[in-house]
Structure 1
Amino acid sequence: MYSIRRWFVTTNHKDIGILYTVTALFFLVFGGILALMMRLELWAPGANVMPAESYNQAVSAHGLIMVFWFLSPLAFGFANYVVPLQIGAKDLAFPRLNALSYWLYLFSGILMGVSFFQGGTFNGGWTMYAPLNMPVYTPELGGSTAVLALLLFVTSATVGSVNFLTTMHRMRAEGLTMRRLPLFTWSILLTVWMMLFAFAALLAALLLLSSDRLIGTGYFADSSPGGSMLWAHLFWFFGHPEVYIVFFPALGAMAEVFQTFCGRRIVGRKWFIGAMLLVALQSFVVWMHHMFLTSINLEIKTLFMATTIGISLPFDLMVFALIYTMLKGKIRFKTPFLFGFGALVLFILGGITGVFLGAVVLDYTLRGTYWVVAHFHYVMVGGVTGLIGGLYYWFPKMTGRMYDERLGKINFGMYFVGFNLLYFPMFIAWETPRRVFEYAPGLTAWHQVSTIGAFLLGASFLVLFYNLFDSLYSGEPVDGNPWDYASTAEWTVPSPPPLENFPGIPTYASGALTFDGGDHASTDGGTVHGADAALTGETDHETGHDEAESHASFWPFVIGVGGFLLLLGLSGLQQGSFPTGTAGGMYAGLSVVGGLTLFGSLVGMTRESFHGPEGPFGESWPFTGVENTKLGMWIFLASDVVLFGAFIGAYVFSRVAYGWQDWHHLIPAEHVVLPGLINTYLLLTSSFAVVLAMVFAQRNSRLGVVGSLVATFGLGVGFLVNKGIEWQHLFHVHSEAFPQGWELSTNIASTTFYVTTGLHGLHVIVGLIITLYMILRAWNGAYLDDDAPIEYFGLYWHFVDIVWLFLFPLFYIL
Structure 2
Amino acid sequence: MSDLPPMTSVKRWLVTTNHKDVGILYIATALFFLLLGGVLALLFRAHLWVPGGTGLLENMEFNQAVTAHGLLMVFWFLSPIASGFANYFVPLQIGAKDLAFPRLNALSYWFYLFSGILMGVSFFQGKTFAGGWTMYAPLNVPSFNTVMEATAGGNATVLALLLFVISITIGTVNFLVTIHRSRAEGLGLWNMPMFTWSWLLTIWMMLFAFAALLAALLLLSIDRVMLTQYFSTDQGSSLLWAHLFWFFGHPEVYIVFFPALGIMFETFQTFTGRRLVGRKWVIIAMVLVAVQSFLVWMHHMFLTAINLEIKTLFMATTIGISLPFDLMVFALIYTMVKGRVRFTTPFLFSLGALVLFILGGITGVFLGAVVLDYEFRGTYWVVAHFHYVMVSGVTALVAGIYYWWPKISGKMYSETLGKINFAVYFIGFNLLYFPMFLAWETPRRVFDYSEGAQIYHQASTVGAFVLGASFLIMFFTLGKSLLTGPDAPDNPWEYSRTAEWAIPSPPPLENWTDRPSYASGRLEFVDDAAAATDGGVATGHEATAADTAHEEHADHASIWPLGIGLGTFVFFLGLSGMTPYVYEFIQGTDHPPEHLADAAVDPSITYPILTLLGVGILGVSLFKFGVEEFNVPETAIAERWPFGGVGNTKFGVWVFLASDVVVFGGAIGAYVFMRLHGGWDNWHLDTITMAGLFNTYVLLTSSFTVILALAFAERKNKKAMLGSMVATVLLAFVFMGVKAFEYSSKFADGHYWFSGIDYSIYFVTTGLHALHVLLGVLVALFMIYRIVSVDAYLEDHRPVEFFGLYWHFVDIVWVFLFPLFYLM
TM-score normalised by structure 1 residue count: 0.95
Among candidates 660, 678, 693, match of residue 640 of structure 1: 660
Once the two structures are superposed, residues 203-224 of structure 1 have per-residue CA deviations (whole angstroms, 9 ceiling, x without a partner) of 1100100111000100000x24
8 A Cα contact 1:216 1:575, kept in partner: no
Return the offset for 1:615.
Answer: 3.2
The CA distance in 2 between the partners of 1:47 and 1:541, in whole Å, is 69
Q: Partner of 2:462 in structure 1?
A: 452
Report the 3-state secondary structure (helix = DSSP H, G, I; strand = E; otherwise coil) of the residue aligned with 1:401: coil
RMSD over equivalenced CA pairs, Å: 1.6
Among candidates 9, 12, 15, match of residue 6 of structure 1: 12
Q: Partner of 1:514 in structure 2?
A: 524
Q: Partner of 1:30 in structure 2?
A: 36
8 A Cα contact 1:339 1:388, kept in partner: yes
The CA distance in 1 between the partners of 2:228 and 2:550, in whole Å, is 54
Among candidates 246, 249, 266, match of residue 239 of structure 1: 249
Among candidates 70, 74, 79, match of residue 81 of structure 2: 74
8 A Cα contact 1:578 1:585, kept in partner: no
Once the two structures are superposed, residues 109-132 of structure 1 have per-residue CA deviations (whole angstroms, 9 ceiling, x without a partner) of 000000001111000000000000
The CA distance in 1 between the partners of 2:698 and 2:481, in whole Å, is 64
The CA distance in 2 between the partners of 1:166 and 1:154, in whole Å, is 19
The CA distance in 1 between the partners of 2:191 and 2:670, in whole Å, is 41
Q: Partner of 1:388 in structure 2?
A: 398
Once the two structures are superposed, residues 582-617 of structure 1 have per-residue CA deviations (whole angstroms, 9 ceiling, x without a partner) of 962101100000111011101110111101231334
8 A Cα contact 2:230 2:757, kept in partner: yes
8 A Cα contact 2:19 2:98, kept in partner: yes
8 A Cα contact 1:505 1:543, kept in partner: no
Q: Partner of 2:103 in structure 1?
A: 96
Return the offset for 1:279.
Answer: 0.3
Report the 3-state secondary structure (helix = DSSP H, G, I; strand = E; otherwise coil) of the residue aligned with 2:106: helix
Once the two structures are superposed, residues 138-186 of structure 1 have per-residue CA deviations (whole angstroms, 9 ceiling, x without a partner) of 8422111100000010010000000000100010000010010100000
8 A Cα contact 2:698 2:731, kept in partner: yes
The CA distance in 2 between the partners of 1:456 and 1:583, in whole Å, is 45
Report the CA distance shift for 1:545/1:419 in structure 2 as closer, same or farther (over 3 A): farther
Q: Which amino acid aligns with 1:239?
A: G
Report the CA distance shift for 1:267/1:545 in structure 2 as closer, same or farther (over 3 A): farther
8 A Cα contact 1:194 1:245, kept in partner: yes
Q: Which amino acid aligns with 1:115?
A: S
The CA distance in 2 between the partners of 1:719 and 1:407, in whole Å, is 66
Once the two structures are superposed, residues 323-382 of structure 1 have per-residue CA deviations (whole angstroms, 9 ceiling, x without a partner) of 000000000000000000000000000000000000000000000000000000000000
Report the 3-state secondary structure (helix = DSSP H, G, I; strand = E; otherwise coil) of the residue aligned with 2:448: coil
The CA distance in 2 between the partners of 1:132 and 1:582, in whole Å, is 23
Q: Partner of 1:654 in structure 2?
A: 674
Task: Please tell me whether residue 144 in structure 1 is matched to residue 155 in structure 2.
Answer: yes
Among candidates 52, 64, 69, match of residue 62 of structure 1: 69
5+ residue gaps, structure 1: 520-539, 734-740
Q: Which amino acid aligns with 2:26?
A: Y
Task: Please tell me whether residue 714 in structure 1 is matched to residue 730 in structure 2.
Answer: yes
Alignment of 1:407-486 (within 5 A): 407-486=417-496
Report the 3-state secondary structure (helix = DSSP H, G, I; strand = E; otherwise coil) of the residue aligned with 1:515: strand
The CA distance in 2 between the partners of 1:763 and 1:570, in whole Å, is 19
Report the 3-state secondary structure (helix = DSSP H, G, I; strand = E; otherwise coil) of the residue aligned with 2:672: helix
Q: Partner of 1:181 in structure 2?
A: 192
Q: Which amino acid aligns with 1:571?
A: S
The CA distance in 2 between the partners of 1:354 and 1:82, in whole Å, is 32
Q: Partner of 1:304 in structure 2?
A: 314
Q: Which amino acid aligns with 1:591?
A: T
Alignment of 1:249-268 (within 5 A): 249-268=259-278
Once the two structures are superposed, residues 74-97 of structure 1 have per-residue CA deviations (whole angstroms, 9 ceiling, x without a partner) of 111100000000000000000000
The CA distance in 2 between the partners of 1:480 and 1:119, in whole Å, is 52
TM-score normalised by structure 2 residue count: 0.94
Report the 3-state secondary structure (helix = DSSP H, G, I; strand = E; otherwise coil) of the residue aligned with 2:604: helix
8 A Cα contact 2:360 2:389, kept in partner: yes
The CA distance in 2 between the partners of 1:275 and 1:314, in whole Å, is 5
Q: Which amino acid aligns with 1:807?
A: L
Return the offset for 1:785.
Answer: 1.6
The CA distance in 2 between the partners of 1:602 and 1:504, in whole Å, is 35
Task: Extract structure 1 runs of 4+ deviating beyond 2 A.
Answer: 540-546, 575-583
8 A Cα contact 1:215 1:575, kept in partner: no
8 A Cα contact 1:215 1:576, kept in partner: no
The CA distance in 2 between the partners of 1:650 and 1:547, in whole Å, is 49
Q: Partner of 2:294 in structure 1?
A: 284
Report the CA distance shift for 1:545/1:312 in structure 2 as closer, same or farther (over 3 A): farther
Among candidates 690, 711, 731, match of residue 706 of structure 2: 690
Q: Which amino acid aligns with 1:667?
A: L
Q: Partner of 1:742 in structure 2?
A: 751
8 A Cα contact 2:688 2:742, kept in partner: no
Aligned length: 784
Report the CA distance shift for 1:546/1:135 in structure 2 as closer, same or farther (over 3 A): farther
The CA distance in 1 between the partners of 2:801 and 2:479, in whole Å, is 49
The CA distance in 2 between the partners of 1:603 and 1:254, in whole Å, is 44
Q: Partner of 1:680 in structure 2?
A: 696
The CA distance in 2 between the partners of 1:616 and 1:676, in whole Å, is 48
Once the two structures are superposed, residues 542-574 of structure 1 have per-residue CA deviations (whole angstroms, 9 ceiling, x without a partner) of 963461210000001111110110000000011
Once the two structures are superposed, residues 450-481 of structure 1 have per-residue CA deviations (whole angstroms, 9 ceiling, x without a partner) of 11111000000000001111111211101300
Return the offset for 1:516.
Answer: 1.9
Return the offset for 1:631.
Answer: 0.5
Q: Partner of 1:699 in structure 2?
A: 715
Report the CA distance shift for 1:511/1:369 in structure 2 as closer, same or farther (over 3 A): same
Q: Partner of 2:813 in structure 1?
A: 803
Q: Partner of 2:125 in structure 1?
A: 118
Among candidates 162, 169, 177, match of residue 158 of structure 1: 169
Q: Partner of 2:537 in structure 1?
A: none
Among candidates 564, 569, 592, match of residue 574 of structure 2: 569
8 A Cα contact 1:261 1:334, kept in partner: yes
Q: Partner of 1:534 in structure 2?
A: none
8 A Cα contact 1:100 1:156, kept in partner: yes
Return the offset for 1:103.
Answer: 0.5
8 A Cα contact 1:546 1:614, kept in partner: no
Return the offset for 1:237.
Answer: 0.3
8 A Cα contact 2:268 2:336, kept in partner: yes
8 A Cα contact 2:689 2:822, kept in partner: yes
Q: Partner of 1:315 in structure 2?
A: 325
Return the offset for 1:403.
Answer: 1.2
Instruction: Pick which of 77-86 and 613-622 moved more.
Output: 613-622
Report the CA distance shift for 1:571/1:482 in structure 2 as closer, same or farther (over 3 A): same
Q: Partner of 1:529 in structure 2?
A: none
8 A Cα contact 2:578 2:603, kept in partner: no
8 A Cα contact 1:212 1:219, kept in partner: yes
Report the 3-state secondary structure (helix = DSSP H, G, I; strand = E; otherwise coil) of the residue aligned with 1:477: coil
The CA distance in 2 between the partners of 1:743 and 1:591, in whole Å, is 23
Return the offset for 1:276.
Answer: 0.6
Among candidates 525, 531, 549, match of residue 544 of structure 1: 549
Once the two structures are superposed, residues 235-289 of structure 1 have per-residue CA deviations (whole angstroms, 9 ceiling, x without a partner) of 0000000000000000000100000000011000000111111000000000000
Instruction: Pick which of 131-140 and 745-754 moved more.
Output: 131-140
Q: Partner of 2:235 in structure 1?
A: 225
Once the two structures are superposed, residues 517-541 of structure 1 have per-residue CA deviations (whole angstroms, 9 ceiling, x without a partner) of 499xxxxxxxxxxxxxxxxxxxx89
The CA distance in 1 between the partners of 2:375 and 2:187, in whole Å, is 50
8 A Cα contact 1:541 1:618, kept in partner: no
Return the offset for 1:779.
Answer: 2.4
The CA distance in 1 between the partners of 2:482 and 2:810, in whole Å, is 50
Report the 3-state secondary structure (helix = DSSP H, G, I; strand = E; otherwise coil) of the residue aligned with 1:210: helix
Q: Which amino acid aligns with 2:757?
A: I
Among candidates 478, 498, 505, match of residue 508 of structure 2: 498
Alignment of 1:31-50 (within 5 A): 31-48=37-54, 49-50=56-57
Among candidates 24, 27, 33, match of residue 18 of structure 1: 24
